[in-house]
């Protein structure tokens, strides 16, 4: 059937059908047009380097195609082993030239270098802050603030060694108190350079002795070495969720 005859046939027969049926046809045609206009591009195959733009959010993903089906492709993210499913009807997919792919990799490399530099500065600053908090902890202890936790009221102060457990999340936090507010404390440790915000009223609190903190600090440093090694090998997702694991203090 010629195109003009097909269009005339559809329009002349449309009045015979219910609106609901016509809406289904329109939705199907819209999906068909989208998939043909924006979906799987000609030449897409395993090994193609692509830019995929989400229709709804305009968010772009870059990666190499490692698998394909009739409705989607699987990409491995640039400079990573993370994989994403890219449905043809939800993404505009563009196959990149070798030059464009090289620019993508260069951009990611520069961003990673900037991030590492910023992270190193923040880690150094956090370590210095912890050292000062420990150095001045006896002075701060004289101004300790009583704070109510799930398991009682505790005198907390900058420099205190703390284990905070949130039962509803099954989450353990360990660190040195580096700052406080009336309802929360901020913990810093070797493992977590970003720090942990602890709402005291929602946690069970344990103030650790110097000997107990030595055990905790040793374990947190071990975890950090483990994480750094896994990060270099792109294997961080294989690590256990240490926030759910309590550190034994009876060694």
H helices present in the chain, as ranges? 3-13, 19-37, 98-135, 137-141, 210-232
22-29: long-range contacts at Cβ-Cβ below 8 A with a sequence spacing of 24 or more? none
CATH number of residue 90's parent domain: 2.30.30.520
In a domain, 207, yes or no: yes
Domain, as residue range, for 138: 131-244
> 215 and 247 in contact (C-beta within 8 Å)?
yes
- Asked if residue 136 and residue 240 are part of one domain, the reply reads yes
- Asked if residue 224 and residue 162 are part of one domain, the reply reads yes
Report the distance separating Cα 133 and Cα 145, nearest Å: 16
- Asked if residue 87 and residue 150 are part of one domain, the reply reads no
In a domain, 27, yes or no: yes
pLDDT of residue 151: 96
- Asked if residue 95 and residue 165 are part of one domain, the reply reads no
In a domain, 119, yes or no: no
182-187: long-range contacts at Cβ-Cβ below 8 A with a sequence spacing of 24 or more? 182/145, 183/147, 185/147, 185/156, 187/162
What is the chain's pLDDT, residue by residue, as a tens digit (251 residues)?
Answer: 677 888 787 888 888 888 888 888 887 776 666 555 556 777 888 999 999 988 888 888 999 999 988 888 999 988 777 889 998 888 888 889 999 999 999 988 888 888 888 888 888 898 899 999 999 999 999 999 999 999 999 999 999 999 999 999 999 999 999 999 999 999 998 877 667 899 999 999 999 999 999 999 999 999 989 988 988 887 888 889 999 999 998 75
In a domain, 109, yes or no: no
- Asked if residue 221 and residue 137 are part of one domain, the reply reads yes
3-state helix, strand, coil in the chain (%, to 5): 45, 30, 30
In a domain, 157, yes or no: yes
In a domain, 232, yes or no: yes
Residue 201 CB contacts under 8 Å (≥ 6 apart), including other chains: 148, 149, 150, 183
pLDDT of residue 109: 86
Q: What is the pTM of this model?
A: 0.59
- Asked if residue 229 and residue 145 are part of one domain, the reply reads yes
Tally of structural domains, the chain: 2
């Amino acid at each position: 059937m010629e195109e003009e005859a097909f269009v005339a046939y559809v329009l002349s027969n449309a009045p015979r059908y219910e609106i609901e049926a016509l809406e289904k046809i329109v939705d199907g045609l819209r999906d068909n047009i989208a998939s043909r206009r924006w979906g799987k591009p000609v030449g897409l195959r395993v090994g193609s380097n692509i830019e995929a733009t989400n229709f709804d959010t305009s968010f772009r993903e870059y990666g190499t195609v490692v698998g394909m089906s009739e409705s989607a492709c699987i990409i491995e993210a640039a400079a990573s082993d993370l994989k994403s499913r890219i449905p043809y009807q939800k993404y505009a997919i563009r196959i990149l030239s070798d030059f464009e792919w090289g620019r993508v990799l260069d951009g990611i490399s520069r961003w990673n270098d900037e991030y590492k530099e910023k992270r190193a500065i923040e880690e150094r600053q956090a370590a210095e802050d912890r050292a000062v908090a420990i150095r001045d902890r006896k002075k701060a202890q004289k101004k300790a603030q009583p704070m109510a936790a799930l398991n009682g009221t505790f005198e907390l102060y900058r420099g205190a060694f703390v284990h905070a457990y949130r039962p509803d999340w099954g989450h353990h936090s360990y660190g040195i108190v580096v700052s406080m507010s009336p309802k929360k404390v901020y913990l810093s440790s070797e493992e977590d350079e970003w720090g942990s915000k602890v709402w005291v009223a929602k946690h069970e609190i344990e103030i650790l002795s110097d000997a107990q903190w030595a055990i905790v600090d040793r374990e947190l440093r071990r975890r950090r070495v483990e994480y750094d090694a896994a990060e270099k090998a792109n294997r961080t997702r294989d690590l256990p969720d240490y926030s759910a694991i309590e550190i034994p203090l009876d060694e």
